[in-house]
Structure 1
Amino acid sequence: DSCPSVYVVMRDEGTDDPLNMLLLTASPYEGQDYADNGEDIVEKVPMPEGLVAWVRDFALTHHEHEAFVKRRRDHERVDLKQDGKGDARIRQTSDVYRAPNRGLV
């Protein structure tokens, strides 16, 4: 679907009023964030021609191209250092959030 669209985010506040409009955005990523929370209703609506022209002009005026730079990994082993905190997903026999002993390095 290549039709320019806006995303209307609505929320049911639990009152007698119909849905309250929370946000109107042209960003599909922002619309998706609201759709993922499960509390809001997000509807995709075709963008009016005047708004298409305004968004195009805005993007042409303010866009700054950024060259892609691939992130390089450092090869430091971060798993070798004990910081006194455990993984909450792993059952431990003792309190993993206790203050470390003085004798430990």
Structure 2
Amino acid sequence: MHDKQLLLPLGVVVRRAPGVTRWAPWSWKAVAVLPGAGPADWREMRREGDAVEYHAATLTLDLHHTQTEAYLEALRARVPSVYVVMRPVMAEAEAMPFEVTLVTASPFEAQDYCDTGEEMVERVPMPEGMIALIRDFVAAHHVAEEFKKRKRDWVRVTGSEDGVGDARIPQETDVYRAPARARKERMH
């Protein structure tokens, strides 16, 4: 029996490079993930001139058996990717301007964060071993749902509500009387 949930520590590598405009002195981008990484807090990994790569954080990638459709979508992409969500830090005393808040293999969850516009969402290519791990997880838990087309409700839409009166007009009998019964009452 396979576990219905898989938790994997995933280190996030963020690259700081010189900005291309005078209004943004630095450009920040999540560029890689490190499966099985230990804890980190913006530890410098590599420096190339003015560009610096940091092991910004290690978060838990949570794969759940009910989300396999989303993971399949990620695997079908031209470049299978995980998504890193970073939130701007408002305190000016902070050395790093972002807090890494989430890493996910679900493009649907990543889209939800894109919709708010408050967080920065970066698409990072999955390492080969992670692709195999997620593919195996999906193979063990995915249940294809059969497409069910909605059936049209064939309601009569002639525009008349036979037997229903206007509440603003005083009537001798019930407003919601049956039309055939009303005709019989008039004849007698």
Do the structures match in fold with TM over 0.5? Answer: yes
Is the counterpart of residue 60 in structure 1 residue 136 in structure 2?
no
Identify if the C-alpha distance between structure 1 residues 45 and 72 changes in structure 2 by more than 3 Å, giving closer, same or farther.
Answer: same
Aligned to 1:20: 99
What is the rounded CA distance, in whole Å, between the counterparts of 1:53 and 1:68 in structure 2?
28
Is the counterpart of residue 70 in structure 1 residue 149 in structure 2?
yes
What is the rounded CA distance, in whole Å, between the counterparts of 2:102 and 2:115 in structure 1?
15
Is the counterpart of residue 8 in structure 1 residue 84 in structure 2?
yes
What is the rounded CA distance, in whole Å, between the counterparts of 1:23 and 1:49 in structure 2?
21
Residue identity matched to 2:87: R
Q: Which moved more, 1:51-60 or 1:11-20?
A: 11-20
Structure 1 runs, 4 residues or longer, greater than 6 Å off: none
Alignment of 1:23-38 (within 5 A): 23-38=102-117
Deviation track 1:11-64 (CA, whole Å, cap 9, x = no partner) reads: 013121431111111111111111111100000000011111110000000001
RMSD: 1.9
Identify if the C-alpha distance between structure 1 residues 9 and 76 changes in structure 2 by more than 3 Å, giving closer, same or farther.
Answer: farther
Residue identity matched to 2:151: R
How many residues align? The count is 78
Which consecutive unaligned segments of at least 5 residues does structure 2 have?
A: 1-76, 157-175, 177-188
Which consecutive unaligned segments of at least 5 residues does structure 1 have?
A: 78-104
Identify if the C-alpha distance between structure 1 residues 76 and 24 changes in structure 2 by more than 3 Å, giving closer, same or farther.
Answer: farther
What is the rounded CA distance, in whole Å, between the counterparts of 2:101 and 2:154 in structure 1?
45
The structure in which a higher percent of residues are strand is 2
Residue identity matched to 1:14: M
Aligned to 1:100: none
Residue identity matched to 1:39: E
Aligned to 2:118: 39
Normalized against structure 1, the TM-score is what? Answer: 0.66
